[in-house]
């Protein structure tokens, strides 16, 4: 039995190459991800937006 090589499509090859060049978050971004007051603020804002959207749908 002979094994055939599967050719990688150009799309997959390009996607693999792009994945290796993912941007690294800045120090400020990393800080904001773990800064509790900011997380609490974002949580409240998102929940208020959801409540407004839900209340508009109940008319």
Task: Please tell me what DSSP assigns to residue 7.
Answer: P
Domain membership of residue 18 (yes or no) is no
Task: Tell me the two tokens of residue 48.
Answer: 């208020």
Per-residue pLDDT tens digits for 4-58: 666 767 777 776 666 667 789 999 999 999 999 999 999 999 999 999 999 998 7
Task: Tell me the two tokens of residue 43.
Answer: 């949580």
Q: How many domains does the chain have?
A: 1
Per-residue pLDDT tens digits for 26-39: 999 999 999 999 99
Cα distances from 45 to residues 3, 11, 30, 42, 54, in angstroms, run 57, 39, 20, 5, 14
Domain membership of residue 23 (yes or no) is no
Angle between helices 36-57 and 27-34 (to 10 degrees): 70
Tally of residues, the chain: 59
> pTM above 0.85?
no
Domain membership of residue 30 (yes or no) is no
- DSSP H helices, 1-59, are 10-19, 27-34, 36-57
């Amino acid at each position: 039995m002979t094994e055939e090589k599967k050719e990688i499509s150009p799309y997959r090859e390009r996607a693999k190459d792009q994945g290796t060049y993912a941007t690294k978050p800045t120090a400020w971004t990393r800080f904001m991800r773990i800064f509790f007051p900011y997380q609490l603020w974002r949580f409240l804002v998102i929940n208020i937006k959801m409540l407004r959207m839900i209340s508009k749908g109940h008319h």
